[in-house]
Structure 1
């Protein structure tokens, strides 16, 4: 299958063209201000050498930082409405109580708290106040808001209140974009509500981004279906991703991790993705990124949903070094490295300049860093090594040495030997591992919810059936779906043999006509 993988980062845009497991072309160039034109340029460059009668591209996979950047920058977010179904128990902390003030002001939410929801054992807390939901919907409609997040108390146990509230809202606002919390988050009310409201604020941007990518592909002469990469190292059909943009928050690092697995064949390893601005340290488990089981902050907002377990470090190819003090970072020249770094004729000392002076990489004009003192260069490399060792140590789960795969445009900054590491693995095409990971990604389906009134075997089987269907809905080929991970935890304080079951499946993309 011929595929194009593209990863749009804050510093560089990478693209690869692959056929099966063979890399036909790979390019890396600075991200342009006009991101979509950069995508068109990337496709044009990887397709340049293709014969006129070559087989067409079957699919395009795109990783983008659009959505997480929108949250971090407090830009391009829609005004939203929040409906919390948890009264009278959930009145003490209103929606978005823990959001940063500037982000809360940006979304300018209308909030409503109504009676309803369930107890921890699945019993109704109080009956759903349907009249209050309808009244809220009319006020939301009158305010001109179409992006709505609905969260009910313990909805992962039973979705009844959220589903019914959504029906009421749609009867008043037919064109509403509604995010239901049980489809995204886990049991914790505030964290689940937070990710629901972030998703609601981003759905408009999700639709516009997918439409813009579609237009860019058409302009590049590509008619194949396209997918967006997700936080778990898989892909999903673009129109599905547009409805759940939060699932693409950490797609860049996870693309790199999947690319590292593809390039090395390793299923269990630590991966360091060194970009232009930051480095991300993560772990491969079964060939996929290890998931975080705790709260993850996004733009200052606490969330608890499907996110990779990553440790970001302020170390990248464009990281600024103070020549007087030797301080490394945290600021970076970012995508302006080709005009700011010393080796490119600029006036800013970066880690790339140190790497060139040490003979680790050959970019720009080496004569421009000949004046750097060798002792200073050596000291900077030691400090960079210490930063990496600290990051690896913080992510390890045992004292044993681990294999570390270095990928990304700044992979040359990773020392050949590290304390606590059995081997530092370097591979060809490491600089475009993120685009390769996007191109090689599979489609996933996941279920993480509480089942009761069923035996363990019945609960796991039901969860697997649901996960398989979600994978098919996301674009997976039914016959290729395999079980990746199963976890079930009995919940002693709930009746009916209740247990939390998490099932994840993956499958190959169902290419049209194949």
Structure 2
């Protein structure tokens, strides 16, 4: 018997489930608190009461805490940027393409030194170790505690980034250091941006993970903690504290994995309707389809592992307004977690989509008498506008014109009608409102490699990528014997000599027994 707790922290609600094998034993939903962590504690205490003496093997938490910090420009640390690449790569320095308000918060110091590699793997210049040491001392003197290191073409050869990290660690032993090749792909600015974002979140990540672990202790739950990633899998909490950017967009991917689990459908579109947004994504083999293009996070261009999602401002707490011409507008503003305070059905002043659904008889929530003054025709027209917004987004997400099944989940799934253009059927699984928490609870551990190989045959390069992915999965907390290769692809790179190949490989597996033994409380 396998029992797990899954928690997903959204912008409006924090959802939690207790899962035993394939059964949901207990589910709950509580408003997300302003500090996020209080809502997690409430959820854990509630599930702990339902858990009884049986115990659980693991606790999986998905959180929007880190991406929200970037979007809302809060709790971000100043970062020292070290770029290895002179005399090349000088004209566009770190932070050059960041929104000015975000750059003003995160830009601590910028240092550029000689080194890096050319596109064919040859060094541009030897690494200037003296300059790296001088940069480290300057950052230490400036009170910088977070550093991002990027080197030209480091996915081809990460050696200079690793050597720079050794020098930095010697001079700044307490610094949190992020190496760009651990996160990004070819494309210096986008890869560097990911490293900078990860570095500025390091103190918040450490604090958040420690608070989650303290919440487990307060609830009396003795189990290891895992954090969900944006590919629908999990990693050990201490590793998540090193790489918080890997949790970006994990909420929608949790919902997609949960929808696949609850319906048994492995290939479909999924719409997750929360309190503020509706996220539409595609399932392929039970996992989210991955984006293969530049993705902006808080206005910053990045190129790393992210799910292929389209988000619109349609949720259960979205504002509903009409102009003088009678045109209805839904969102993008939302009351969010203040729905019980601001929505009309609870005596508040703001008309929301939840009020509309209650007036139309789709939802039993709050006091229906508070919205009797809303014309039924207006309510129906608002729901029709919501359907139009969904149809347009679904059409953009599809890869061909054939109708496809749509899995509707999330607390605001009442906004999804039973019939939509381009959709063969709308499936609404049991426990759809907490599909995100279910997706967290069922998550496997993954390892991924995305690297350029030279001087190897195609078979050798793919085998090496799988080996790297397997080692990373074990580091993340997977049982080696359970690992299975779920995705591998290779892409020849033009102009690079030696038959260079970019190979991406991903493996997934069960949590290792050693990971299930929690560390003793301090």
Question: Does TM, scored on the shorter chain, surpass 0.5?
Answer: yes
Output one character per residue of 1:469-508: Cα deviation in whole Å (capped at 9) or x when no partner.
1001001111111001000011231122210000000111
Whether the aligned pair in 2 keeps the contact of 1:417 and 1:423 (CA below 8 Å) is: yes
- Give the C-alpha shift of residue 37 in structure 1: 2.4
Work out whether residues 36 and 65 of structure 2, in 8 Å CA contact, stay in contact via their aligned partners in 1.
Answer: no
**Is 1:114 aligned to 2:113, yes or no?**
yes
The aligned counterpart of 2:512 is 510
Partner of 1:411: 413
Q: By how many angstroms is 1:368 displaced? A: 1.9
- Partner residue in 1 for 2:186: 187
**Structure 1 residue 91 and structure 2 residue 90: aligned?**
yes
Normalized against structure 1, the TM-score is what?
A: 0.98
8 Å Cα contact 2:147-2:176 kept in structure 1: yes
Residue matched to 1:221: 220
Q: What is the match of residue 176 of structure 1?
A: 175
Shift of 1:48: 2.5
Q: In the alignment, is the contact (CA less than 8 A) between 1:357 and 1:366 conserved in 2?
A: yes
**Aligned equivalent of 2:480:** 478
Distance in 1 between residues matched to 2:254 and 2:297, nearest whole Å: 18
Q: What is the rounded CA distance, in whole Å, between the counterparts of 2:22 and 2:62 in structure 1?
A: 19
- The match for 1:445 among 444, 447, 456 is 447
Alignment of 1:80-479 (within 5 A): 80-322=79-321, 325=326, 326-479=328-481
Count of aligned positions = 512
1:323 is displaced (CA, Å) by 5.1
* Structure 2: distance between partners of 1:503 and 1:473: 16
Contact 1:323 1:349 in 2 (8 A): no
Distance in structure 2 (CA, Å) of the matches to 1:6 and 1:201: 25
**Are the aligned partners of 1:320 and 1:333 in contact in 2 as well (CA < 8 Å)?**
yes
Q: Distance in 2 between matches of 1:300 and 1:154?
A: 24
Contact 1:272 / 1:282 at 8 angstroms: preserved in 2?
Answer: yes
Taking the aligned partners of 2:39 and 2:494, their CA distance within structure 1 comes to 54
Distance 1:85 1:49, change over 3 A: closer
Work out the CA distance in 1 between the residues paired with 2:123 and 2:54: 58
Q: 472, 496, 499: which one pairs with 2:498?
A: 496
Q: Please, what is the CA RMSD of the aligned residues?
A: 1.2
Query: Structure 1 CA distance, aligned partners of 2:416 and 2:44?
Result: 30
Q: Do the aligned residues in 2 keep the contact of 1:59 with 1:511 (CA within 8 Å)? A: no
**In 1, are the aligned partners of 2:7 and 2:441 still within 8 Å (CA)?**
yes
Aligned to 2:16: 15
Q: What CA deviation, in whole Å up to 9, does each residue of 1:219-248 have, x standing for no partner?
A: 111121001111111110000000000001
Task: Report the more deviating stretch, 354-363 or 381-390.
Answer: 354-363
Query: Partner of 2:469: helix, strand, or coil?
Result: helix
Deviates more, 1:347-356 or 1:167-176: 167-176
Stretches of structure 2 lacking an aligned partner (at least 5 in a row): 518-522
